[in-house]
Amino acid sequence: VICCSASWMVVPARLPPVTSSVLGAPRPCLDGRGCLACLGGAAGWSWRASCRAARRWLRGEALINNYNADDWRRATELFTGVISEAPGFAPAYSSLVRLHNSIHLVFPGIFRDRAREEAALDLARTAATLDPVDSRAQLCLGWSYVMAKQYDQAELHLGLAYQLNENDPWTLISSAHGLAFCGSGERACEIAEQALRVLPTPSRIHWGYLVGIRFLVCDSEVCVDAANRADAMILHLPGR
């Protein structure tokens, strides 16, 4: 399945054995239009509504990457609106989960709390239920378990995200970062290196994630180098 996103995400038509046993039978391969039509048909809303939801979601995704408080407020409005209008559109739930799990990084003075962790988990479970073979949904569910300190469950879903989309640099670097928090440092570093091979010229955001990975495995030299490459993209990076 090819699903549209800020960077096109490719899910193989044939899933790895462990994924197939957990998630069920794989879906046939579709193009981006077919994916949206499938989502719309399953949820009972029109192709026109599907396109409108996708456009609003993509605008929100672009705003997230700015790591700016005003942009995140607008992104929250967009994702919430998409969910209200098209409750079967799984990517909107996953994007809202990203905001819940990262809000303390963008809004000074806002701290993580149990209520927000539970809200993120509920949204992430909904996304994974609506579209269990969307690597984004599995990735966000894995991170939600990380934030809730349920590391065994987190490692399972981060692993599924990796299996579903191992050629996407964002899936690779984010799942690697999550696995580092789970204590799987060696595996995290392997996947992080794979991400760098897939994306020869990483963005500053990717370098920022590498900072966290190398910091967690106590690799100070690479951590500092990555922080310099990330520059001021994420101001609280531990190497700066």
Give the pLDDT confidence of 146-165 residue by residue, as tens digits: 999 999 999 999 999 999 99
d(CA 129, CA 137): 9
Whole-structure pTM over 0.85, yes or no? no
Task: Give the 3-state secondary structure of 174-212.
Answer: HHHHHHHHCCCHHHHHHHHHHHHHHCCCCCHHHHHHHHH
Give the pLDDT confidence of 87-133 residue by residue, as tens digits: 999 999 999 999 999 998 888 888 889 999 999 999 999 999 999 99
Strands (E), the chain: 2-3, 9-10
Amino acid identity of residue 202, one-letter, is: P
If one counts every other C-beta atom within 10 angstroms of the C-beta of residue 166, the result is 18
pLDDT at res. 105: 82
